[in-house]
Structure formats: C-alpha cells, structure tokens
Amino acid sequence: MAPPRQRVPEGPAPDPAVQKLRVRYAKRGRLRFTSSRDFQRALERALRRADVPMAFSAGFHPHPKISYANAAATGTASEAEYVELQVTARVDPESVRVALDEALPKGLDIVQVVEAGAGSLADRLEASEWRVEFTGVPADVLEGAVGRLLEHERVEVTRMTKSGPRTFDVRAAIVSAEVSDASRDGAMNDASPVDCAILRMVVRHTTPAVRPDDILTALRETADLAPPRPPLVTRMAQGPLDTATARVTDPLA
C-alpha cells in the first residue's frame, strides 16, 4: 500500500523577513484590563491599518511573525511591555511607532520602536520594577510589613495554576523594596490618592514567575497586611538587571 501523499500548501512561499523590530508599549487607564489575547488581536488589526509589511509563517494557516515577551497579567497597568515584529521590507522604526500608535486605542500606547540587535529579547528581560499603590494604608504600616517580609530568608506561597496548586518561594525573587507615601513618589499621577502608601520593588524573573499578587499574598501571611482596597499595580520597567545597583536597565539600548 502506497504511503499517503503529503499535503503541500498551494501558492508561492511567503516573502522572507529582512528586518526585525522591537516594540515597547504601555497599558494605561482602563486598558490595563486588556488581556494578552485582546492585545494580540488589537495589534494585528493595527498592523494592517498601518500597512506594516509583516512577514508571515509558511503552512496552511499563515500567521504574522510576532513574538510576545513576558506580558503583564490582566488588570495590571504597565509602562514596559514588549513585542518583536518581523517585516519583509525595511522600514523606519519611528514611522512605524507613529502609525501603530495612531491605529491602536488610547491606553494601548506605542512608546518606542527600534531595530532589533543581536540576541534574544526574551533573554534580556531579567527583572521588573513594580509600583504598587496601597490606598488607605499609611506608609509606616506598609514599611513595617515590607520589613517583616524581607527579614525572612524564604517565604512560600501557593498559587493555582493550570496544572493545579503550586507552592514556591517568593522572597528570593525580591531584589529590592522601598516604601514612600504618594506625595513623595516621583511617579505620582493625577489619579493617585494622597492617602496611600507606595511600594516600589525590583523583582527578578524566575520560573515559576513571581507576580506582584504573590508578594501581596506573602505580605498578608508574614505581616497580616490587609489593604481596604485592592492595590493598583503598575510595571514601570523590565529588562536586564544591574546587580550592583539593583536597577532594571533598558532592554532596547
């Protein structure tokens, strides 16, 4: 019996990619509730509207060559989300930034587009800097809770995953943590309430990923911290980790 014939897609092969772009975008305001899937659909529509010459995969179901890197969770605001695009004709990165920003809804904002350098973008995202607003929590109360958390060498939390509950250490991922009140925080915006404490922390990217929600769980378990309202979480930066200064640096530099 002859083996079955292998199906081959009809038509010419897709044009090869000649340039790779790295894109930094922000999720702001109500658009922080955009899921990863929602953003993917919005970006693909925006790429078509902006007439970006996207490269496509081969096969029976071609899709644009877009790589998404370490997206923030739904409900989390961010100033530093990243994607990588492959295009079939060389383009001016700044022109792409302007066109994409105009094609996306306000709140999904394209901050920067650069031509990709060598290496993997995902490998450069080693840590994140987070800003967490605790409305109704005095700064001294939050500072005491964070201090008690940092006194521990290991703090385990359990999170439900697709494969069931998973327990892991969150303390080792915390590189630094600093507390201030809203009036002294340099990133305070017009919507920030005055009666709130601000936690800024640098968190190393680990497997499994330690999320801000996991650290909030750890604060509740180690210091009995129970904010009267859910804290507002914003990712301020993500990129290479400078261990000497405990700072997150620019992955597009």
Q: Which residues pair with 130 in a beta bridge?
A: 201, 235
CATH of residue 98's domain is 3.30.70.580
Same domain, 115 and 138: no
CA dist list (Å): 51 to 54, 57, 87, 88, 92 = 8, 18, 11, 12, 13
Q: The domain containing residue 95 runs over which residues? A: 19-123
Per residue in 44-63, pLDDT tens?
A: 999 999 999 999 998 878 99
Same domain, 201 and 89: no
% of the chain at pLDDT higher than 90? 82
Among 74, 103, 123, identify where a domain stops. 123
Residue 113 to residue 105: CA distance in whole angstroms: 17
* pTM for the full predicted model: 0.90
Same domain, 147 and 205: yes
Please compute the mean of the pLDDT values over residues 166-170 and round it to a whole number.
95
Same domain, 115 and 141: no
Q: What angle do CA 251, 243, 245 make, to 5 degrees?
A: 95
Q: What pairing do the DSSP bridges indicate for beta strands 232-239 and 156-161?
A: unpaired
CATH of residue 134's domain is 3.30.70
Among 123, 149, 184, identify where a domain stops. 123
Same domain, 195 and 85: no
Per residue in 106-159, pLDDT tens?
A: 999 999 999 998 899 999 999 999 999 999 999 999 999 999 999 999 999 999
Per residue in 190-232, pLDDT tens?
A: 555 558 999 999 999 999 999 999 999 999 999 999 999 999 9
Which pLDDT does position 187 carry in this prediction? 55
| Domain total in the chain | 2
Same domain, 197 and 214: yes
98 by DSSP, 3-state: which?
Answer: helix
Among 123, 139, 156, identify where a domain stops. 123
Helix, strand, coil distribution of the chain in percent, nearest 5? 25, 35, 40
Give the mean pLDDT of the chain: 92
